[in-house]
A and B are shown apart, each in its own frame.
Chain A
């Protein structure tokens, strides 16, 4: 009979499993949230102008978020949405009182959608701006997947690296959000057909410079005698991309796509309220009335880029 029994080694708790479950649940929850946000954006997408207003609003929110990250002024702290106190209290108490290594990290990972940080909120707004559940999910999935190691690392080393590195990280995040905000506002202005977008101002400046130097900046295509003109749609742009038509006469614009799969299929002419996703292969004819064919008509992609 064995009287002495070797003491069992205390079971070492595997810390990787709950972390992996937490991050997996967070990734899945945010991707599902992205589907929902993209769907909201698609519902809100009524016309090029409403979409433009949405994109400009998103851009302003992002600029405010960037200003908050740069710590420019206390007023910019209001560019973050605080979840209700009962939500944060519930998450905190749940984490404290539940020790399951499977259910708890899964549940808490899912609940992180209720406590997004400022940059995540900016991405959520961007997901709304895509107007597509698939793209919304893709944005959130890529953002969470890409930033998880950064945020995890930052949280781990934040107290060790000190204030200087922490501030630099926030400034870097602010710079990224600032650029995204400007891109969003630029897209919104283009969708509205505004001549004051950065790309349109740049075009106008290059035309002025070319005229001042006595040259012609671009050769403009012209419609035929019947006012018809054809544009080829490629994956990366349109040809011709500059058309000069006599003012006050109707124009019949035929847009031809041939195996086109790029974002150029999202075709918008803000001035006449035209918005359509072109077929991959096919012809689409747009009749521009004489009343509209007066002045500059700008053609854009659905996301507002020229």
Chain B
């Protein structure tokens, strides 16, 4: 299990937050995904045996957002 805080690039409104939090249901291995528009951050609790950081980053990029370790 891993819990990591990331900086998210490219968020502008709550619809962006909703889009990204939807990854919680789309990606296997994500236990919880909390996105803060004000802080431009994502707190992701995931099973690192099922999903890696690179895969999560690619999923964010696929939605049009950047992700980097905070």
Give the B-binding residues of A (Cβ under 8 A): 69, 74, 77-78, 80, 82-83, 85, 88-89, 91-93, 96, 115-118, 158-159, 163, 166, 170
Complex: A10 Cα to B17 Cα, angstroms:
36
Name the residue on A nearest B26 (C-beta): A96
User: Do residues B40 and A77 form an inter-chain contact, with CB atoms below 8 A?
Assistant: yes
Complex: A118 Cα to B22 Cα, angstroms:
21
**Can you list 7 A-B pairs with a CB-CB distance of less than 8 A?**
A69-B12, A74-B40, A77-B38, A80-B38, A85-B34, A88-B17, A89-B21
User: Do residues B18 and A88 form an inter-chain contact, with CB atoms below 8 A?
Assistant: yes
User: Do residues B18 and A115 form an inter-chain contact, with CB atoms below 8 A?
Assistant: yes
Distance in Å from the Cβ of B8 to the closest Cβ of chain A? 12
Complex: A159 Cα to B34 Cα, angstroms:
23
Given contacts A83-B14, A88-B14, 17 further A-B pairs with CB under 8 A are A69-B12, A77-B39, A78-B38, A80-B37, A82-B38, A88-B18, A89-B21, A91-B18, A92-B18, A115-B13, A116-B14, A117-B12, A117-B13, A117-B15, A118-B13, A159-B64, A166-B10
Name the residue on A nearest B14 (C-beta): A115
Residues of B within 8 A of A74 (CB): 40
Is B47 part of the contact surface with A, judged by Cβ < 8 Å? no
Assuming the A-B contacts A77-B40, A89-B21, are A82 and B64 also in contact, with contact meaning beta carbons closer than 8 angstroms in the complex? no
User: Do residues B13 and A116 form an inter-chain contact, with CB atoms below 8 A?
Assistant: yes
User: Do residues B21 and A118 form an inter-chain contact, with CB atoms below 8 A?
Assistant: no
Residues of B within 8 A of A78 (CB): 38
Which residue of the partner chain, among A69, A96, A158, A159, contacts B25 with CB atoms under 8 Å?
A96
User: Do residues A82 and B12 form an inter-chain contact, with CB atoms below 8 A?
Assistant: no
Residues of B within 8 A of A117 (CB): 12-15
Complex: A113 Cα to B34 Cα, angstroms:
22
Name the residue on B nearest A93 (C-beta): B25
Please report the number of residue pairs spanning A and B whose Cβ atoms sit closer than 8 angstroms: 47
Residues of A within 8 A of B34 (CB): 85
Interface centre among B21, B38, B40 (most CB of A within 10 A): B38
User: Do residues B21 and A82 form an inter-chain contact, with CB atoms below 8 A?
Assistant: no
Complex: A88 Cα to B10 Cα, angstroms:
19
Which residue of the partner chain, among B10, B15, B25, contacts A115 with CB atoms under 8 Å?
B15
Closest 7 CB pairs of A and B: A117-B13, A88-B18, A115-B14, A159-B64, A77-B38, A92-B22, A115-B15
Distance in Å from the Cβ of A197 to the closest Cβ of chain B? 32
Residues of A within 8 A of B13 (CB): 80, 115-118
Distance in Å from the Cβ of B38 to the closest Cβ of chain A? 5
User: Do residues B14 and A92 form an inter-chain contact, with CB atoms below 8 A?
Assistant: no
Complex: A166 Cα to B17 Cα, angstroms:
17
Residues of B within 8 A of A166 (CB): 10
Distance in Å from the Cβ of B21 to the closest Cβ of chain A? 7
User: Do residues A82 and B18 form an inter-chain contact, with CB atoms below 8 A?
Assistant: no
CB contacts under 8 Å to A, within B6-58, are 10, 12-15, 17-18, 21-22, 25, 34, 37-40
Complex: A118 Cα to B21 Cα, angstroms:
19
Distance in Å from the Cβ of A125 to the closest Cβ of chain B? 15
Name the residue on B nearest A78 (C-beta): B38
Complex: A72 Cα to B24 Cα, angstroms:
31
Distance in Å from the Cβ of A51 to the closest Cβ of chain B? 29
User: Do residues B38 and A118 form an inter-chain contact, with CB atoms below 8 A?
Assistant: no
Which residue of the partner chain, among A82, A96, A159, A170, contacts B17 with CB atoms under 8 Å?
A82
Distance in Å from the Cβ of A157 to the closest Cβ of chain B? 11
Distance in Å from the Cβ of A12 to the closest Cβ of chain B? 26
